[in-house]
Amino acid sequence: MTLYAPPPADFVRRAGFSVIALVNVAWGAWAVVFPERFFATFPGFGLHWTAAYPPYNQHLIVDLGATMLMIAVLCGGAAVLDRPATSWLAGVATAVFGTLHFGFHALHAGHMGATDRVLSLLSLVAGALVPPALAATHLVSLRRQR
């Protein structure tokens, strides 16, 4: 009896989309349920990136949380279904949000120090580039099938 082991690209794609989904569920739920705490302490670990853009606005924080939950659904669907069209939809949709989000923060530093700004921008670049890169791993699977 031989066990089937998925190719590395398939594992990376599904794991990557799963991690993105789980992170966005955590952040999105945090923002929706505790918007003021989210604003004051996001992303955690002693950093305060969202608070660097005052004033606090409950509506905008809850909307951001809802957007993160939508990203979680898209990426979770891509991880579970693992179909090229689903992965591309999740990857491109997340990249649109990520690119626009990065663009704003690239142009507006808020009240961040240099280290926080660099870390924040690096995380935003990853948010824009990683999802479509995960979707592109379907190309590796297509080549392998030929």
Confidence of residue 8 (pLDDT cuts 50, 70, 90): confident
CA–CA dist 141, 45 (Å, integer): 38
- Rounded to the nearest integer, the mean pLDDT of the chain is 93
Give me the residue spans of the domains in the chain: 8-145
The pLDDT assigned to 21 comes to 98
Closest of 13, 6, 7, 8 to residue 137, by C-alpha: 13
Cβ neighbourhood burial of 58 (10 Å; 0-12, 13-18, 19+): exposed
Confidence of residue 7 (pLDDT cuts 50, 70, 90): confident
Confidence of residue 1 (pLDDT cuts 50, 70, 90): low
Residue 87 CA to chain centroid, in angstroms?
14
Q: What tokens were used for 116?
A: 């926080």
Residue type, 28: G
Q: At what angle do helices 84-107 and 114-145 cross, to 10 degrees?
A: 160
Map residue 43 onto helix, strand or coil.
strand
Confidence of residue 140 (pLDDT cuts 50, 70, 90): confident
Closest of 17, 125, 31 to residue 73, by C-alpha: 17
The pLDDT assigned to 58 comes to 98
Cα angle value 32/15/81 (rounded, 5°): 85
CA–CA dist 7, 80 (Å, integer): 16
**Residue 99 neighbours by CB distance under 10 Å:** 15
Confidence of residue 4 (pLDDT cuts 50, 70, 90): low
- Asked if 91 contacts 131 with a C-beta cutoff of 8 angstroms, the reply is yes
The pLDDT assigned to 99 comes to 97
